[in-house]
Structure 1
Amino acid sequence: MEQLKTLGRELAMGSHGQSKEFLDLIKSIGEARSKAEEDRIVLREIETLKRRINDADTPKRKMKEYIIRLLYVEMLGHDASFGYIHAVKMTHDDALLLKRTGYLAVTLFLSDDHDLIILIVNTIQKDLASDNYLVVCAALNAVCRLINEETIPAVLPRVVDLLNHSKDAVRKKAVMALHRFYQKSPSSVSHLLTNFRKRLCDNDPGVMGASLCPLFNLVSDDANSYKDLVVSFVNILKQVAEHRLPKTYDYHQMPAPFIQVKMLKILALLGSGDKQASGHMYTVLGDIIRKSDSMTNIGNAVLYECICCVASIYPNSNLLDSAADVIAKFLKSDSHNLKYMGIDALGRLIKLSPHIAEQHQLAVIDCLEVKGVPHKDEFIVF
Structure 2
Amino acid sequence: MASLREKIAQGLKTGPKFLKEFREFDNLVKAIGECKSKAEEDRIITQELELLKQRLSDPKLDRSRGKEYMIRLIYCEMLGHDASFSYVKALQFASDPNIHTKKAAYLALTQFLDCNNQLVLLLVNTLLSDMKSDNYLIVCTALVATTKLIGADLVNAVYPVVVERLRHPKEHVRKKAVLALHWFASLDPRRDGPLAGVELDKHFRTMLCDKDPSVMSAALCALHDCIKADPRPYKNLIPSFTSILKQVSEHRLPKSYDYHRFPAPFIQIKLLKILAALGAGDRASSENMAAVLHQALRRANTSHTIGSAIIYECVRTITTIYPNPALLAAAAESISAFLRSPSHNLRYVGIDALAGITALNPAAAAEHQVAVLDCLEDPDDTLKLKTLELLYKMTKANNIQVIVDKMMGYLATCPDEHIRRDIVRKVSDLAERYAPSPSWFVSTISEVFRLGGEHVDDGAAHRLTALIAEQDAELHGSAVEAYLALLDGEGGAGAGGQQAGGPRKKLPETILLVICWVLGEYGHLARRPPAAVLSRLLGVLTAHKSATDRVRATLLSALTKLAAHTGGAAGPVGTALLQPHSSGGSSPGSDAAAFVHACANSQNLDLQQRAHELQALLGCPPSLLAAALPADAARQSFSAAELAEVAALPFLDSMVERALAAGAAPYLTPEARGKATELQAKGLRFEAYEPAPFAVPLSGASTSYGTAAAADARSGPSSSGPSGSAASTYSSAAPAEPQLVLKGAGGRRSL
TM-score (norm 1): 0.91
Which stretch of the first structure deviates more once superposed, 340-349 or 35-44? 35-44
Question: Quick one: distance in 1 between partners of 2:125 and 2:140?
Answer: 16
In structure 1, what is the equivalent of residue 269 of structure 2? 261
In structure 2, what is the equivalent of residue 5 of structure 1? none
The 5 Å alignment of 1:220-259 reads 220-259=228-267
Question: Quick one: distance in 2 between partners of 1:195 and 1:131?
Answer: 23
Q: Unpaired segments of 5 or more residues in structure 1?
A: 1-9
Aligned with residue 354 of structure 1, among 358, 362, 383: 362
RCO higher in 1 or 2 (8 Å CA, sep ≥ 6)?
1
Contact 1:369 1:376 in 2 (8 A): no
Question: Quick one: distance in 2 between partners of 1:182 and 1:206?
Answer: 19
Amino acid paired to 1:170: V
Contact 1:304 1:341 in 2 (8 A): yes
Residue 97 of structure 2 corresponds to residue 89 of structure 1: no
Question: Quick one: distance in 2 between partners of 1:15 and 1:233?
Answer: 56
1:52-105 C-alpha deviation (Å, 9 max, x unpaired)? 221121211223211110011112222211111111111111222221111111
Aligned with residue 225 of structure 2, among 217, 237, 242: 217
TM-score (norm 2): 0.47
Aligned with residue 174 of structure 2, among 160, 168, 171: 171
Question: Quick one: distance in 2 between partners of 1:38 and 1:243?
Answer: 53
In structure 2, what is the equivalent of residue 135 of structure 1? 138
The Cα of 1:178 is off from its aligned counterpart by: 0.6
Question: Quick one: distance in 1 between partners of 2:328 and 2:368?
Answer: 14
In structure 2, what is the equivalent of residue 335 of structure 1? 343
Q: Unpaired segments of 5 or more residues in structure 2?
A: 12-17, 389-401, 408-426, 431-751
Residue 41 of structure 2 corresponds to residue 38 of structure 1: yes
In structure 1, what is the equivalent of residue 328 of structure 2? 320
User: In structure 2, do the counterparts of structure 1 residues 377 and 112 end up closer, same or farther at CA, with 3 Å as the change threshold?
Assistant: closer
The Cα of 1:32 is off from its aligned counterpart by: 3.4
In structure 2, what is the equivalent of residue 6 of structure 1? none
1:165-190 C-alpha deviation (Å, 9 max, x unpaired)? 11111110111101101111232344
Contact 1:42 1:73 in 2 (8 A): yes
Residue 80 of structure 2 corresponds to residue 77 of structure 1: yes
Determine what percentage of the aligned residue pairs are the same residue: 49
Larger Rg: 2
Amino acid paired to 1:109: F
Amino acid paired to 1:81: S
The Cα of 1:338 is off from its aligned counterpart by: 0.8
The Cα of 1:241 is off from its aligned counterpart by: 0.8
Question: Quick one: distance in 2 between partners of 1:343 and 1:89?
Answer: 55
Contact 2:210 2:216 in 1 (8 A): yes
- What secondary structure sits across from 2:274 in the alignment? helix
Amino acid paired to 1:65: E
Amino acid paired to 2:267: I
Residue 279 of structure 2 corresponds to residue 271 of structure 1: yes
Contact 1:278 1:313 in 2 (8 A): yes
The Cα of 1:272 is off from its aligned counterpart by: 1.3
Question: Quick one: distance in 1 between partners of 2:36 and 2:334?
Answer: 48
In structure 2, what is the equivalent of residue 378 of structure 1? 405
Question: Quick one: distance in 2 between partners of 1:112 and 1:324?
Answer: 47
Question: Quick one: distance in 1 between partners of 2:226 and 2:406?
Answer: 44
Question: Quick one: distance in 1 between partners of 2:173 and 2:150?
Answer: 17
User: In structure 2, do the counterparts of structure 1 residues 32 and 257 end up closer, same or farther at CA, with 3 Å as the change threshold?
Assistant: farther
User: In structure 2, do the counterparts of structure 1 residues 83 and 309 end up closer, same or farther at CA, with 3 Å as the change threshold?
Assistant: same
Contact 1:124 1:143 in 2 (8 A): yes
Amino acid paired to 1:247: K
Question: Quick one: distance in 2 between partners of 1:211 and 1:34?
Answer: 48
Contact 1:366 1:376 in 2 (8 A): no
1:182-241 C-alpha deviation (Å, 9 max, x unpaired)? 111232344232110111100000000000111011111221211111110001011111
Aligned with residue 27 of structure 1, among 25, 30, 44: 30
Residue 156 of structure 2 corresponds to residue 153 of structure 1: yes
Residue 213 of structure 2 corresponds to residue 205 of structure 1: yes
1:319-353 C-alpha deviation (Å, 9 max, x unpaired)? 21221122211111111111111111111111211
Question: Quick one: distance in 1 between partners of 2:201 and 2:370?
Answer: 49
Contact 1:264 1:305 in 2 (8 A): yes
Amino acid paired to 1:295: S
Contact 1:140 1:177 in 2 (8 A): yes
RMSD of aligned residue pairs (Cα, Å): 2.4
In structure 2, what is the equivalent of residue 56 of structure 1? 59
The Cα of 1:47 is off from its aligned counterpart by: 2.1
The Cα of 1:29 is off from its aligned counterpart by: 2.3
The Cα of 1:35 is off from its aligned counterpart by: 4.0
Contact 2:67 2:100 in 1 (8 A): no
User: In structure 2, do the counterparts of structure 1 residues 365 and 35 end up closer, same or farther at CA, with 3 Å as the change threshold?
Assistant: farther
Contact 1:272 1:314 in 2 (8 A): yes
Aligned with residue 304 of structure 1, among 312, 326, 329: 312
Which stretch of the first structure deviates more once superposed, 202-211 or 58-67? 58-67
User: In structure 2, do the counterparts of structure 1 residues 303 and 104 end up closer, same or farther at CA, with 3 Å as the change threshold?
Assistant: same
The Cα of 1:38 is off from its aligned counterpart by: 3.1
Contact 2:185 2:200 in 1 (8 A): no
Question: Quick one: distance in 1 between partners of 2:166 and 2:66?
Answer: 34
The Cα of 1:15 is off from its aligned counterpart by: 9.9
Amino acid paired to 1:233: F
User: In structure 2, do the counterparts of structure 1 residues 92 and 240 end up closer, same or farther at CA, with 3 Å as the change threshold?
Assistant: same
- What secondary structure sits across from 2:153 in the alignment? coil
Contact 1:53 1:63 in 2 (8 A): no
Amino acid paired to 2:291: T
In structure 1, what is the equivalent of residue 117 of structure 2? 114
User: In structure 2, do the counterparts of structure 1 residues 33 and 331 end up closer, same or farther at CA, with 3 Å as the change threshold?
Assistant: farther
User: In structure 2, do the counterparts of structure 1 residues 351 and 14 end up closer, same or farther at CA, with 3 Å as the change threshold?
Assistant: farther
Amino acid paired to 1:38: E
Question: Quick one: distance in 1 between partners of 2:32 and 2:64?
Answer: 23
